[in-house]
Amino acid sequence: MNGSEVASTTGTETLKKEFSIHAAEVKTYFTLNGQHTVKIDGNNATGISFSLLKMIREKEGKDIITDYSVKYEDVYIFQNGKWLIKERIGHFLIIETRTLNN
């Protein structure tokens, strides 16, 4: 965020654990994936994609919505007949949080 690394996760098990902790706080979410460009070189590839995410959490009895505008820089690998994300750097370009008016 703002050009600084705020978190780093390595390994599938660590990723599952950290994601589960984070996801448990979210009541609902919406993700819209946009532009996605990929350069393929044999069984390896790199890509850039953009996403808009909305997450609703409850705090002190109120629903709080956070909007994220994210650019992902990915490294992919083709393994066992499918493309997998080998490495991902997420650039959280815009983050806005506000109380949701229901």
How far apart, in whole angstroms, are the C-alpha atoms of residue 45 and residue 74?
8
pLDDT tens per residue, range 7-51: 777 888 887 888 788 888 999 999 999 999 999 999 999 999 999
How far apart, in whole angstroms, are the C-alpha atoms of residue 77 and residue 85?
7
Q: Which tokens belong to 96?
A: 């806005």
Q: Which of 19, 85, 86, 2 is nearest to 55 (CA)?
A: 19
84 and 75 in contact (C-beta within 8 Å)?
no
pLDDT tens per residue, range 83-93: 999 999 999 99
Neighbours of 65 (CB within 10 A): 18
Q: Which pTM does this prediction carry?
A: 0.81
Give me the domains of the chain, ranges plus CATH numbers: 12-99 (3.10.450.50)
In the chain, % of residues over pLDDT 70: 95
User: How confident is the model at residue 102, as a pLDDT?
Assistant: 66
Q: When comparing pLDDT for 52 and 12, which is higher?
A: 52
